[in-house]
């Protein structure tokens, strides 16, 4: 799926604005430039960046109410999904935090967010302090057990956990729920018929 086709989906199905699309184009260009020097995304996925990375991240807007609250992205990497969600967000009262331990990736996220005038806060360590967010998202952070642990122990308020997972989503959940089970939903990914989106409501 190429750029034009993905942009059509972003606008018609996910309500991305013209400005957001322009910002996504800038972000994609900056990422591809940075990827010449750093392996932020696999070289084999560069040609498919709009479908494989941008749309995959963007689909999460369906499960987030940007009218109020805040969001934290665990292990943001090169900005997926957190920076894409921040580009979509046009509510100054909705706060986005990106957690990324790599200094090189944090520097890239800072540079892009400044270039696009995004209101985001970039943090170093998920485990350094408590997290106060209404939504916690993750695409490539750690195993499901570790993500559940962050939700259970570090996030201080009731929140919705949204995790992009591959074809082993059900198996990963079963491993993560050995000690305690939580109610969850599995949604179908827009980008891969075998991938799922895991949604868990954590009550505090």
Residue ranges of domains in the chain, CATH in brackets: 3-202 (3.40.50.150)
Q: How far apart are CA 75 and CA 98, in angstroms?
A: 7
Cα–Cα nearest to 176, from 188, 187, 163, 189? 163
- In this prediction, residues 30-45 reach a mean pLDDT of 96
- In this prediction, residues 121-129 reach a mean pLDDT of 90
Task: Please write the tens of the pLDDT for every residue from 56-78.
Answer: 999 999 999 999 899 999 999 99
Provide the pLDDT for residue 75: 95
Q: Which two tokens stand for residue 39?
A: 């392996």
Q: How far apart are CA 137 and CA 147, in angstroms?
A: 9
Q: Which residues contact 150 (CB under 8 A, 6 or more apart)?
A: 74, 126, 127, 131, 136
φ, ψ of residue 67 to 5 degrees: the values are -70, -25
Provide the pLDDT for residue 142: 83
pTM, two decimal places: 0.94
Q: How far apart are CA 24 and CA 63, in angstroms?
A: 20
Q: Return the percentage of the chain with pLDDT > 90, whole number.
A: 81
Q: How far apart are CA 10 and CA 31, in angstroms?
A: 19
Q: How far apart are CA 63 and CA 142, in angstroms?
A: 21
Residue 158 has pLDDT above 90, yes or no: yes
Helix (H) or strand (E) holding 149: helix 144-153
The answer to whether the beta carbons of residues 136 and 74 sit under 8 Å apart is yes
Q: Return the percentage of the chain with pLDDT > 70, whole number.
A: 100
- In this prediction, residues 127-139 reach a mean pLDDT of 93
Provide the pLDDT for residue 52: 95
Residue 176 has pLDDT above 80, yes or no: no
Task: Please write the tens of the pLDDT for every residue from 98-113.
Answer: 999 999 999 999 999 9
């Amino acid at each position: 799926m190429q750029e034009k086709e993905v942009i059509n989906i972003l606008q018609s199905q996910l309500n991305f604005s013209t400005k957001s699309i322009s910002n996504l184009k800038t972000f994609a260009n900056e990422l591809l430039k940075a990827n010449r020097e750093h392996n932020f995304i696999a070289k084999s996925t560069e040609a498919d960046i709009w479908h494989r990375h941008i749309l995959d991240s963007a689909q999460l807007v369906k499960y987030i109410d940007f009218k109020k609250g805040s969001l934290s992205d665990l292990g943001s990497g090169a900005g997926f999904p957190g920076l894409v969600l921040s580009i979509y967000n046009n509510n100054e009262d909705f706060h986005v935090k990106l957690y990324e331990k790599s200094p090189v990736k944090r520097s890239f996220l800072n540079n892009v967010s400044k270039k696009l005038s995004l209101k985001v806060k970039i943090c170093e360590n998920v485990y350094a302090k408590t997290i106060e967010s209404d939504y916690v998202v993750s695409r490539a952070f750690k195993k499901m057990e570790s993500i559940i642990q962050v939700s259970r122990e570090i996030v201080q308020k009731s929140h919705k956990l949204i995790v992009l997972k591959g074809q082993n989503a059900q198996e990963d959940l079963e491993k993560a729920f050995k000690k305690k089970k939580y109610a969850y939903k599995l949604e179908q990914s827009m980008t891969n018929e075998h991938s799922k989106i895991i949604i868990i409501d954590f009550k505090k």
